[in-house]
Amino acid sequence: MKNLDFKDKVVWITGASSGIGASIAMQLNTLGAKVIASARREEKLIALKFNCPNPDNMLLLPLDITNPLSIEKAIVKVQSLNGLDIVLHNAGISQKGLVIENEMEVDRKIMETNYFGTVALTKAIMPLYLKQGHGSFGVVSSFAGVMGIPGRSAYAASKHALHGFFESLKAEHMACKLHISFILPGFINTEITAKGLCGDGKPFGRVETSHRLGMTANACAHAIIKGIAKNKKRIVVGNIEVLLLSIHRISPSLGHLIIKSHPMRTMRNFKSKIHRIFNFKQDLVLEKQ
C-alpha cells in the first residue's frame, strides 16, 4: 500500500480477534503502525500476533468492552505508552429477528456491546486525547447505522446511537484536533451474521449468503485504512450494495422498498437464470456440432 503513512502511529483496534478488525490490525502492522489489538478471545489475538510481519510492534490487550473493570485495566496500560493516535471502535455483535420476535434481553445485549461498550471506552480515552491535544476515532458503524433494516432493529438502533453520540462529541470539541470517521461497511464476508443473536438470544449459526458472497475482510480493511489515512469523515465500503445508501439518501422510502425486496437475492437469482440460459444455449450449439 503506497502513500499510507502509518509508520509509528499508535492505533488501538477493538474487535481485533477476527474479521475486519483482525485484517485491519494485520495490514496496519505491515505498514509500520504500532498496533494495540483488543478483543475477548486472547487465543485469537495471540495467533494474530504470531502471524503478523512485525510482532514486536503489536501489543495484545485482551478486553471486554462491556466490562468496566476490563476497560479500566486496559486504559492504565495504554496510558503508560507513548501517546495514542487512533482508536478504531470495531468490536460489535449483530442480531437477526423481527421486532416482535426479539426478547428484550437481546435488544439490551446488542446495545450493551455496540453502544454502551463503545461509549464507555471512549469516555475512558477522552482525557488522554485532551491531554495530548489530538486524537482520532474510527467508528465502525454499518449501513444499518443510517437506515433501518428489517430484522435488524436492535443492531440498527445501536449503530444509529453511535452516530448521535460521536457527532455530539465532535460538536463539544470543535476547537480541538479531534477527528472522527464513521465507517459504513456493506456485506463483508465475516462471522458477524453467524454469531448474530436470534430473537431467543441464541446465535444464528451460519454466515448469511449475502455476507458469504460479499467483500473480503481484507479488501474491506484496505478501503478503511485508505479512508482513515485521508481523514475521511465517512467511509463507505462494499460492492454493488453501496448504491443502496445513495438511493436511501435521495429517497428513504425507495431505499426501504429496495431493502425489503431482498435486492441481493433477486440479483443472484437473476444472474443464475442468465447463467442457466447461457449454458442451455451452449449445450444446444454443442449438440448441433
Ligand X SMILES: NC(=O)c1ccc[n+]([C@@H]2O[C@H](COP(=O)([O-])OP(=O)(O)OC[C@H]3O[C@@H](n4cnc5c(N)ncnc54)[C@H](OP(=O)(O)O)[C@@H]3O)[C@@H](O)[C@H]2O)c1
CA–CA separation, 130 and 68 (whole Å): 21
CA–CA separation, 72 and 7 (whole Å): 28
Q: Which residues are designated catalytic?
A: 155
Whether the CB-CB separation of 221 and 168 falls below 8 Å is answered with no
Stretch that binds ligand X, among 62-70, 163-171, 241-249, 275-283 (CB under 6 A): 62-70
Whether the CB-CB separation of 38 and 91 falls below 8 Å is answered with yes
Site string for ligand X, 244-273 (x = CB under 6 A): ------------------------------
Under rule CB under 6 A, residue 185 binds ligand X? yes
Of 19 and 227, CB closest to ligand X: 19
What letter would DSSP give residue 14? E
Under rule CB under 6 A, residue 17 binds ligand X? yes
Out of 63, 75, 139, 236, name the contact with ligand X by CB under 6 A: 63
Three cell numbers, residue 25: 490490525
* Per-residue CA distances from 77 to 60, 73, 142 (Å): 11, 7, 30
Under rule CB under 6 A, residue 91 binds ligand X? yes
CA–CA separation, 144 and 156 (whole Å): 5
Q: How far is the CB of 22 from ligand X (least distance, A)?
A: 7
Q: How far is the CB of 7 from ligand X (least distance, A)?
A: 25
Instruction: Provide the pairing of β-strand 34-38 with 10-14.
Output: parallel
Out of 102, 113, 122, 181, name the contact with ligand X by CB under 6 A: 113
Q: Find the DSSP H helices in 114-241.
A: 118-132, 153-172, 192-195, 209-212, 217-229
Instruction: Provide the pairing of β-strand 58-60 with 86-89.
Output: unpaired
Of 143, 245, 249, nearest to 186 by C-alpha is: 143
Phi, psi for residue 276 in degrees, rounded to 5 = -65, -40
Q: How far is the CB of 179 from ligand X (least distance, A)?
A: 19
Stretch that binds ligand X, among 1-9, 76-84, 85-93, 226-234 (CB under 6 A): 85-93
Q: How far is the CB of 288 from ligand X (least distance, A)?
A: 46
Q: How far is the CB of 16 from ligand X (least distance, A)?
A: 6
Of 185 and 227, CB closest to ligand X: 185
Out of 211, 225, 227, 241, name the contact with ligand X by CB under 6 A: 211
Under rule CB under 6 A, residue 122 binds ligand X? no
Under rule CB under 6 A, residue 15 binds ligand X? yes
Q: Provide the binding-site residues for ligand X, judged by CB under 6 A.
A: 14-15, 17-21, 39-41, 44, 63-66, 90-94, 113, 117, 140, 142, 185, 187-188, 190-192, 195, 211
